[in-house]
Structure 1
Amino acid sequence: MKDFEVVSDTITIDSISISPYNFKVLDSAKQLIDSTLYSVNFAKAQLYINKPKFKRITVQYTALPEFLTKTYYKFDESLIVPQATDLSRLYSVQKSTINKNFLPFDGLQTSGSILRGFTVGNNQNAVVNSNFDLQISGNISKDVQVRASITDSNVPLQENGFSQRLDEFDRVFIELFSKNWKISAGDINLFNTTNQFLRFNKKVAGVQVDVMTESEENDTHFFASGALVRGQFARNSFTGEEGNQGPYKITGTNTEEFTLLISGSETVYVNGAPLTRGENNDYIVDYNTAEITFMPTFPITGSMRVVVEYQYADRNYTRFVTYNGAEYKNDKLKLGVTFYNENDVKNQPLQQDLTTSQKVILSQAGDNEGLMVAPSAYNAAFEENKILYKKELIGSEEVYVFSSNPDDELFRVTFTYVGEGQGNYVIQTTIASGRIFEYVAPVSDIKQGAYEPIVQLTPPNRLMIGVLNADYTPTEKTAISSELAYSSNDVNLFSSIDDTDNEGFAGKFKWNQILVDRNWKFATGVNYELIHKNFRTIERYRNVEFSRDWDLLNTEGNQSYLSTNLSLSNTTKGIVSYVFENLNYSENFNGIRHNLLTNLKLNRTKINVNSSLLSNNTNAYKTDFFRWYSHGKHHFSKSWIGAELNAESNKRYDKSTSELEDISHKLVEYEAFFGVGDTAKVYAEFGFNYQVTDSVQVQRLQKVNAAKTYFMRSKLIQNEASNLSLFVNYRTIDHTNFDDEESLNSRLLYRQQFFNNGVSLQTAYETNSGVLPQQEFNYVEVDAGLGYFTWNDYNNNGIQELDEFEVAQFQDEANYVRVLLPTINYIKTNQNKFSQSFTLNATGWSDKKGFKKFLSHFVNQSFIVIDGKVKRENSSFNLNPFAVNDALALNQSFKNSLFFNRGKQFFSTTYTFINTDNKNAYSINNQNNKLKSHQLLFNHRIKQWWLLDVKTSFSENKSTSDVFTSRNYTIQSKEFNPKISYLYSTNSRFEMLYHLKDKKNIIGDEEALFINTLGVNFIHTTGKNFSVNSSLNLVFNKFTGETNSAVGYQLLEGLRPGTNYTWNVSFQKRINSYLDVTFNYLGRKSESVKAIHTGSLQLRASF
């Protein structure tokens, strides 16, 4: 079973063929979708949507084993040879004169499709639809191969990162290659991991050419590339909060509120160790809101140092990058030269349209970002639903005041967050099109706001780096390498001020020597680096925790770094090494560091030690920093035992007073663990961790807290019928000066099957602590049919207000999308997640007799999902996932379906009960929606030609809003929907239906609607080549209440009181083996309203 977003009319279900048996398509409410609304190519595992009615579907299917779909041959074709003469032939075979149909990419291995279409209507502008998904591989000649992946979709937003695998839209990659050359074009990755001073990894759009020449004596490699840059490198560091799994906001390089991360570009480190993305791993990322959340199996504490390195979308200017170089190598020598140039085109701004005065500001600012600030207001003509301001004089201050009067002199103003108490404006309110700001006068010359009508200007910049490198290996025991680099970094191409610090140099020399090469290898090495203070790199080239390792604050001057090492190693026993390091900044820092590293395996015992002792001296302070980490683990035959010790003592003294600075600290952490089993199969591990933290109190290091952690990691059951894994991490913190804290992270996964799959059970349970963002959002208009929401001006004031947007009932009205705004307000929460599916399937008794035979007609399926977040108060947490009355945010769903003769069309009956409860905590409103529904479906085939379907339902839909009272309603519905189908051939069907619906709001104005619908449908298919689907409905609406209201829209479902007509015609024709054309026409007509016509035409080519 898989879930799909319906973004086109073609959905690839799987990579292998699927079985037509037990194939089902369900809508978002898990209701069966009529098979006339789609067609399936089971061989290609592709689903074709005939009527784009659903936004999300679920497909239930069975994949066929590969050996069933594989092509087999009776004889080995390689052993068949042509006959030498025609003497003994009784017949002759001639090549067919019939012209072979043209096939694109004939001879290459291809998969995918291309779709082009357009939609027009008298209630919308013309919209072009496109989708392109193509993969190509194979030989285009004897020596040249091609590899290509082209994906182009008009999806407006990039997919979120809530999965381990990311799908990237609008991606084009084409590669031609031969033995000695390669050309790559499109969306490519430029990277360098070999040069010390030119390490980078960038996602770009351009061309790269590689040429290789080989001989017996040497090899030569040339490469050149040019591209448009998709993103800029950035680094965000923060300290974890005790018991807070997130989400944590990833801020921009200038602490911007809004940062759009490039999918898959991030690397996350905790305490210097890289993590793995994925719900079953360490963390997930929401790329649209730039927020990172850590999984319960990776508990976050207050002593964890988190670093996120990522690329973000920077579209201030058109930015080009070139990356070129050459490399020569033989058995002993390797020489290389590399050039990198990345620069903005200052006369081609993109997201910012610089005025002449703003360019003057940049030209006079030099490299000082504090001077790159300009007023953001500019004159603007009046537009409905746009936030505009006028100028008013309050006292002696000229301020901006919101105005919707077209007679005022209006301005469009951008407000920038400058910090609490640093500005004169605050957020007055939020409407659908954005935030409205209001001026607040200072009190006693103290500013009362956090925003200013200014904009931070971004200057164009340029970075050039050139590198020469040489590696020489005169013997197997000696290795020498060197590197020389030059950089030119101009951070403001509009200004020549401060350009004297643009250029810098860097150099490195490294020598490694094996002194003794026997059973134990004894080696030594020297590494020296000299870096000019103005030298710049693209990305970080040091260890991710380099600054902390050396206790660096503000460094000035040229940098020199020296390290020497001695090591003793054995291929089976491990390694012991000592490293001496000296780091010096010519103007204010000198440090010496000793390191002892051990990684040994002695029989069944593993020992790992990483320790260092740092002494540094600056103009303002001196530091003694000792760190020790050791890990020991001993394996028995079926169990293991181990311990860890992690300690550090950082004492920083102020040179002028000889007093300890506040940053000084001490930490001691002990851990012991015991495990039994096999970690690759079934195991359990239990452990205890004790951590004591000291901080400066009255000029002494004194204990500030002590933490105890109890943990368990396990996989208790793993076989074909069942799986059980459990993770628990319970932590308590005893603070000296604050209230104590507790946190609990856990995850339980259980799967069980009984009685030959007659009973199936799946359970997942999680607990953790985190925060809930008080989210704000607005609505942005898009082309009709590409959105999800529609706007109804309920109060007729011409202003788009947040409570006036509804989920569109018809495609031509769906012309708005909801966009989340950045927020800085979070509520601390405890979160419980619980999900369970339970299936009773007695069909295995179909060959039995008596009561078991009767039970074999029944199947029962139950699904429950609870995801609740409650406010975290003190250190308490609720382990009961069903206690959700006080939840701030909640997603709760229960569904039970009882089937009789499922899928047999013989008195087939399904009873379904649905109960959902959803709460959302927004910054200006708390919204709660509840749905309770009883549904009864009956399906029976009468002889050969008639099929009877009957659907009845009783439901209650309740909406509660704290602020928007117009959205408070409780709608009770009763439905009766019989349908009779005449199957006059295997390919054609005629249907007649009647739909009775009684809907009433039992609170407020008690609006009511009584609906009678008469309809006919006609479906005809001719094999795989042609299909037609048409429907006509006559809808009589008897409505009581206000139509132009949220309740009225919900009741009427987008139609009008009185007589309404809706119709639909859909044609699909296969032109040849790879071309399909689809035509859709939809219409509706209500009393006193013109008819709405919408038509679309799509052409799809499958490869």
Structure 2
Amino acid sequence: MIKKIFFLFFFVAYFQNYAQAIDHDIIKKTFQISRDTIQIDSLSISPYYFKVFNNKHQLINPENYTIDFVMANLFFKDQVFHLKEKVFVEYQLLPEFLTRHYKVLDRDLITEKTNDLTGLYNPIKANRNKNIKLFDGLYTSGSISRGVTTGNNQDAVVNSNFNLQIQGNLSENIGIRASITDNDVPLQEGGYTQRIDEFDRVFIELFSKNWKINAGDVYLQNNENYFLRFNKKVAGVYVNANVDHAWGKSQVFASGALVRGKFSSYKFNGVEGNQGPYKLIGQNNEQYFLIVSGSETVYANGIPLKRGENLDYVIDYNTGEITFTSLYPVNANMRFTVDFQVVENNYNRFITYDGVDLVNDKLEIGVKYYNETDFKNSQLQQELTEEQKQILAEAGDDKEKMVSISAVPQEYSKNKILYKKMLIDNKEIFVYSSDPNDELYEVRFSYVGENKGDYIIETTLAPGRVYQFTAPVNSVKQGSYAPVIQLIAPQKLQIADIDMKYNYSEKGNVKSEFAFSNSDKNMFSELDNDNNNGFAGKINWQQNIIDKKWKLDANADLEYISSDFTTVERYRNVEFSRDWNLTDPALLKDTGQGFFSGGLIFKNDEAGRINYRFEILNFEENFKGNRHNLYSDLTFGQNKIYIRSSMLNSESLSETNSFDRCYSMIKHNFAKAWIGGKLNYEKNKSVVKKTELLNNISHKYIETEVFGGVGDSTKVFTEIGYNYQTVDSVQNNHLQKVNHANTFFIHSKLIQSKNTDLAFNGNYRRINNVNYENEESLNARLFFRQNLFENLVNYNLIYETQSGSLPQQDFSYVEVEPGKGFYTWIDFNNNNIQELNEFVVAKFQDEAIYVRVLLPNVNFIKTHRNKFSQSVNVNMIKWQNDTGFKKMLSHLSDQAYFLIDANERRGAESRNFNPFRYEEANLLALNMQIKNSLFFNRGLQKFSTGYIYLNSRKKSYLSTGDQDNEIKSHQLQFSHKINGFWLFDVSGTLSEIQSRSDTYVNRNYILDQKEIFPKLSFLYSKNTRMELFYSYKNKENQISGFETLNMNTLGSSFQYSNRDKFSVTASFNWIDNKFEGNKNSPVAYQMLEGLQPGKNMTWVLGVQKRLMTFLDLNINYYGRNSEGSKTIHTGTVQLRVSF
């Protein structure tokens, strides 16, 4: 990373003299007319942006004035404005390099002839004294900072942040774009992953008319070649050049990079009435993985969906969970496929993608080469022992043999879950131990499936889960976990692809593509290498037969793929296997496949098209099938007809199949309305040859729908509809109905205007099952926005209800560098074991050395969710120029916000759709907030008064039991400036803080808190202020230990700020804590705010010095002292470069 940054500095600094100008921000000024001419600025004004407004903020016609942009003078014409009338001017200055005075030598330094040479002009010395500006001439933004934090309570920690954007021209023909982000954030709070350095970004692009060079984080993709389709986010270099020749054009490109993302795909079926989250699983059954952001494609029944809270789904890249919005209702007839890139750090992996394309009027030829190889001796997260390498060497390509015992000898550590070995019935097992005298092992357990392992989860401690051995019963295993790990073998994939297109006439062409692959799935092993090489080929013919108003085109494809051919990513339709009833991949594994398709396309530019296609698919002797396809999309006047149908007949070694499908839609449009209907029909009949019985995949599915709407579907509209579905499945060797569903839906945008928006979407579904209980679900969303009295009142409301699931969440705490965490550990029971209830939110930076990391879970509870939020903003300042009652109201403003997000356990009988009513017994998770802020003269410091009411509650559903926190508070604020130099502030707060835990008794408390906080500030100047303040807090615990605290704080602070030169801040606090109760408890830490009973002191000193126009030095020092404890000193030194 450092090398990349150094290269960027060197490269851009070398070319900085060729850069382009920098745009200036808009400047706003107020002038009082005293004569007919106003001097606006001392610099020249840009003629591209200049506006003048009168005292009513109305734009003045340019005919009433003239402007000299060079001299920045504004001239008013006679009898247009009165003296002492105010005008408001908005403008931009010309770029600095256009208004700057240029000179080779400074004439002011020329002296009279004398024998004293000390005053003579020295150009070298003069240049040194000039201000330096990095990347002068290029448009730049961002900064780089590097600092060190250390103290007597922590080790030294290096902090760095780098954020830089560059855009401009290095010369007349060469441009540059760059974006660099390198933030030192090693751990992600609340995610499954521990390291998130994948979020750093370095991108540099140099370009001209005929070539470009991309370096850093590059996006490689190929969507044109049939056998070599892929999308990769890599870190490396990509070069592309276009060359014109007498015979045509050519394009040459090459790339080399390190890649961490690896293609993965996961399939799952929707659950009736469950919007999610649905947990994604990796290719090797991993639950711990990080998805490359933005790399996913989600398909529902083969149709790609859109990501977004107001679209189809949202995804958590850290936890690998996908949730569908209420706008996209999920049912059991939906098949989902998610393609994504997984961040894989087992080995360093190198990728190269190179090629050349030659093009002229008749012929196009392309050659591509793709190589992706793991460096087997450059291991990252997976550190293989010699024994594990031998296991891989003997496994060949069989993943089931790539399994190793995970136990590794380890010294005792309080931050790790460790085990000792024991013998039970002559079987060696692992037992949790915290005894430093035992021979200890660090053991990783893998989820192997229900009743397939010998271990279960016993409990969860701060460092992670504790597993316990459970003996088999009647030779049946009782656990779901085993002390083994899946070994990942280094792999290599090479693909050479040649494609050609020959235009033999204006109406016809022939295309061909041939690809060769070399795939080694285990580079440690010489076994199973006979199946590494594969071949694939495809020939396509296209011909226009009739070229009139209705056109007729013919095409044909012939394709062959050997059994050992391997691609980077999927190249066929995501539902190809289902389309052809390929139910047993094992039968097709070692066979080559041949595919033929031919068809006719009848199309009209206005009416649409009809497409017929016949296909044949063979897997040598294992499978033979043919399919007829008909597709039409026609528009006749106000009528639209859409049909997609197919008929499949196939035979494999074990089955005969017929699969008929038809999806059709007809719609008629009126002037401002529409009606329509849909039919979706499937009948899949699969018969087992040996028994002549129906296969379980046999089914019949019929879906009918009618709908109608009024309005404009792109603006204001309402559409309602009814959907009926029936499903027949195999019952007693016959297709019999197992359920039918009735669905009513509405989609609407009732109002859309400048001041009002109103939209409602709803979907109610009821399933009547033959063999088990009926089910129903409701997904709905209401959105309303209203601006009243010309934006005096702004109101927003969102209501949403949906069915879903809630994970029973486990978590652990991971130690990080001091200051980069959120929690601290306090051994409340003095047993030297890190327990979950002993971690609290750190009050001081040097104590924040832990973050909470979620653990993958397999337990999801069915829930029904109601979410309601509304906000009201009232700002009457626009009446400040009025008189009477409006003038009085103009001093007031109010902000109100209400949110309730409740997840209740879903029952079979009924659901609660009222967000304001929920049963505590069924409540699993809750996020409730009520906040109202009422202000008088807000921000004016003239008898400014504010009242803030807060009521919040958050309940979490954890594997260790429910955790419930609640806060209620009333706060009154007052601020007033006296004689322009003195500022008096005072605030008073009454609050109640509750914490309830089902498992940990020491987490239960109810704190009544009172606080008064007066402060007097002396505003010596615009840059300097001094403050003296006093705070009194009274805290009483109403339950359990009944702890009490009286906290008196006396403090002062000093601030001096000169942004261009020097600034300093300092503060000192003397705190007297009179505490009664057990000081070694979570409630005591919360009450004492991390300090100790008795006398305490805290102090802060911060200094910032501008060394150069782009370079700042920041020094910060923090200290605290408590009775009976050592003095804590923490200091930070940081350099910051601004661009």
In the superposition, the TM-score normalised over structure 2's length comes to 0.88
Structure 2 CA distance for partners of 1:814 and 1:74, relative to 1, 3 Å: closer
Q: Secondary structure at the match of 1:384?
A: coil
Alpha-carbon separation, structure 2, partners of 1:470 and 1:159: 51
Is 1:665 equivalent to 2:699 in the alignment?
Answer: yes
Alpha-carbon separation, structure 1, partners of 2:94 and 2:399: 72
* Deviation sequence 1:49-75 (CA, Å, 0-9, x none): xxxxxxxxxxxxxxx9xx987635699
Alpha-carbon separation, structure 1, partners of 2:209 and 2:790: 55
Structure 2 CA distance for partners of 1:168 and 1:640, relative to 1, 3 Å: farther
Pick which of 338-347 and 618-627 moved more: 338-347
Q: Secondary structure at the match of 2:490?
A: coil
Structure 2 CA distance for partners of 1:19 and 1:377, relative to 1, 3 Å: farther
Structure 2 CA distance for partners of 1:857 and 1:668, relative to 1, 3 Å: same
Q: Tell me which residue corresponds to 2:47.
A: none
Alpha-carbon separation, structure 1, partners of 2:430 and 2:502: 68
Q: Secondary structure at the match of 1:1050?
A: helix
User: How far apart are residue 160 of structure 1 and its match?
Assistant: 9.4
Is 1:71 equivalent to 2:71 in the alignment?
Answer: no
2:983 paired residue among 947, 952, 959: 947
* Deviation sequence 1:852-909 (CA, Å, 0-9, x none): 4333322222110111100000052211111134221000000011111212211111
**Residue 723 of structure 1 contacts residue 749 of structure 1 at CA under 8 Å; is this kept in 2?**
yes
Structure 2 CA distance for partners of 1:720 and 1:546, relative to 1, 3 Å: same
* Deviation sequence 1:17-41 (CA, Å, 0-9, x none): 69999xxxxxxxxxxxxxxxxxxxx
**One-letter code aligned to 2:1092:** R
Q: Tell me which residue corresponds to 1:411.
A: 441
Q: Tell me which residue corresponds to 1:102.
A: 132
Q: Tell me which residue corresponds to 2:643.
A: 609
Structure 2 CA distance for partners of 1:981 and 1:18, relative to 1, 3 Å: farther
Alpha-carbon separation, structure 2, partners of 1:414 and 1:847: 71
**One-letter code aligned to 2:755:** A
Within-5 A mapping of 1:119-138: 119-138=149-168
Is 1:328 equivalent to 2:358 in the alignment?
Answer: yes
Q: Tell me which residue corresponds to 1:987.
A: 1023
Structure 2 CA distance for partners of 1:1057 and 1:77, relative to 1, 3 Å: closer
1:461 paired residue among 473, 491, 496: 491
User: How far apart are residue 314 of structure 1 and its match?
Assistant: 1.2
Within-5 A mapping of 1:504-543: 504-543=534-573
Is 1:874 equivalent to 2:895 in the alignment?
Answer: no
2:1068 paired residue among 983, 1007, 1032: 1032
Q: Tell me which residue corresponds to 2:1078.
A: 1042
Is 1:1018 equivalent to 2:1048 in the alignment?
Answer: no
Q: Tell me which residue corresponds to 1:90.
A: none
Q: Tell me which residue corresponds to 1:41.
A: none
* Deviation sequence 1:754-813 (CA, Å, 0-9, x none): 122222211011111100000100000001011111111111111111000111101111
Q: Tell me which residue corresponds to 1:371.
A: 401
User: How far apart are residue 1089 of structure 1 and its match?
Assistant: 1.1
Q: Secondary structure at the match of 1:625?
A: strand
Alpha-carbon separation, structure 2, partners of 1:16 and 1:686: 52
2:942 paired residue among 887, 906, 915: 906
Alpha-carbon separation, structure 2, partners of 1:68 and 1:109: 26
**Residue 155 of structure 1 contacts residue 169 of structure 1 at CA under 8 Å; is this kept in 2?**
no
Alpha-carbon separation, structure 2, partners of 1:95 and 1:239: 79
**One-letter code aligned to 1:840:** V
Within-5 A mapping of 1:997-1008: 997-1008=1033-1044
User: How far apart are residue 654 of structure 1 and its match?
Assistant: 0.9
**One-letter code aligned to 1:138:** G
**Residue 27 of structure 2 contacts residue 90 of structure 2 at CA under 8 Å; is this kept in 1?**
no
User: How far apart are residue 838 of structure 1 and its match?
Assistant: 1.4
Is 1:859 equivalent to 2:893 in the alignment?
Answer: yes
**One-letter code aligned to 1:1006:** F
Q: Secondary structure at the match of 2:527?
A: coil
**Residue 428 of structure 1 contacts residue 436 of structure 1 at CA under 8 Å; is this kept in 2?**
yes
**Residue 715 of structure 1 contacts residue 724 of structure 1 at CA under 8 Å; is this kept in 2?**
yes
Is 1:795 equivalent to 2:816 in the alignment?
Answer: no
User: How far apart are residue 237 of structure 1 and its match?
Assistant: 0.4
**Residue 558 of structure 1 contacts residue 587 of structure 1 at CA under 8 Å; is this kept in 2?**
no
Q: Secondary structure at the match of 1:419?
A: coil
**One-letter code aligned to 1:523:** D
* Deviation sequence 1:1067-1092 (CA, Å, 0-9, x none): 22333332222221111111111111
Report the identity percentage.
52
Alpha-carbon separation, structure 1, partners of 2:273 and 2:890: 50
Q: Tell me which residue corresponds to 1:48.
A: none
2:314 paired residue among 269, 276, 284: 284
2:969 paired residue among 915, 923, 933: 933
**Residue 743 of structure 1 contacts residue 875 of structure 1 at CA under 8 Å; is this kept in 2?**
no
Structure 2 CA distance for partners of 1:646 and 1:1094, relative to 1, 3 Å: same
In the superposition, the TM-score normalised over structure 1's length comes to 0.91
User: How far apart are residue 216 of structure 1 and its match?
Assistant: 4.5
Q: Tell me which residue corresponds to 2:457.
A: 427
Is 1:837 equivalent to 2:867 in the alignment?
Answer: no
Structure 2 CA distance for partners of 1:206 and 1:248, relative to 1, 3 Å: same
Is 1:1101 equivalent to 2:1114 in the alignment?
Answer: no
Alpha-carbon separation, structure 1, partners of 2:808 and 2:736: 38
Q: Tell me which residue corresponds to 1:490.
A: 520
**Residue 899 of structure 2 contacts residue 928 of structure 2 at CA under 8 Å; is this kept in 1?**
yes
User: How far apart are residue 603 of structure 1 and its match?
Assistant: 1.8
Alpha-carbon separation, structure 2, partners of 1:1057 and 1:216: 88
**Residue 159 of structure 1 contacts residue 167 of structure 1 at CA under 8 Å; is this kept in 2?**
no
Q: Tell me which residue corresponds to 2:818.
A: 784
**Residue 250 of structure 1 contacts residue 259 of structure 1 at CA under 8 Å; is this kept in 2?**
no
Q: Tell me which residue corresponds to 2:800.
A: 766
**Residue 224 of structure 1 contacts residue 323 of structure 1 at CA under 8 Å; is this kept in 2?**
yes
Alpha-carbon separation, structure 2, partners of 1:398 and 1:75: 78
2:241 paired residue among 211, 215, 220: 211
Q: Tell me which residue corresponds to 1:1051.
A: 1087
Q: Tell me which residue corresponds to 2:115.
A: none
Alpha-carbon separation, structure 1, partners of 2:482 and 2:442: 14
User: How far apart are residue 141 of structure 1 and its match?
Assistant: 2.5
**Residue 286 of structure 1 contacts residue 292 of structure 1 at CA under 8 Å; is this kept in 2?**
yes
User: How far apart are residue 978 of structure 1 and its match?
Assistant: 0.6
2:468 paired residue among 418, 433, 438: 438
Q: Tell me which residue corresponds to 2:1109.
A: 1073
**One-letter code aligned to 1:928:** D
**One-letter code aligned to 1:202:** K
* Deviation sequence 1:912-969 (CA, Å, 0-9, x none): 1100011000011210001000100011112222111011010000000000111000
Within-5 A mapping of 1:475-486: 475-486=505-516
User: How far apart are residue 832 of structure 1 and its match?
Assistant: 0.7
**One-letter code aligned to 1:1068:** Q
Is 1:620 equivalent to 2:654 in the alignment?
Answer: yes
**Residue 160 of structure 1 contacts residue 285 of structure 1 at CA under 8 Å; is this kept in 2?**
no
Q: Secondary structure at the match of 2:372?
A: strand
* Deviation sequence 1:228-254 (CA, Å, 0-9, x none): 111110000011011100000000112
**One-letter code aligned to 1:350:** L
Q: Tell me which residue corresponds to 1:559.
A: 593
Alpha-carbon separation, structure 2, partners of 1:1028 and 1:258: 46
**Residue 863 of structure 1 contacts residue 895 of structure 1 at CA under 8 Å; is this kept in 2?**
yes
Alpha-carbon separation, structure 1, partners of 2:865 and 2:779: 10
User: How far apart are residue 636 of structure 1 and its match?
Assistant: 1.3
2:301 paired residue among 252, 260, 271: 271
User: How far apart are residue 1027 of structure 1 and its match?
Assistant: 2.1
Structure 2 CA distance for partners of 1:876 and 1:68, relative to 1, 3 Å: farther
* Deviation sequence 1:582-625 (CA, Å, 0-9, x none): 00001310110000010112222221111000000011001110
Is 1:963 equivalent to 2:999 in the alignment?
Answer: yes
Q: Tell me which residue corresponds to 2:200.
A: 170
**One-letter code aligned to 2:810:** E
**One-letter code aligned to 1:730:** Y
2:619 paired residue among 582, 585, 607: 585
**Residue 24 of structure 2 contacts residue 95 of structure 2 at CA under 8 Å; is this kept in 1?**
no
Alpha-carbon separation, structure 2, partners of 1:368 and 1:1064: 62
Alpha-carbon separation, structure 2, partners of 1:68 and 1:600: 58
**One-letter code aligned to 2:514:** L
* Deviation sequence 1:1035-1078 (CA, Å, 0-9, x none): 00001011111011001000011110111111223333322222
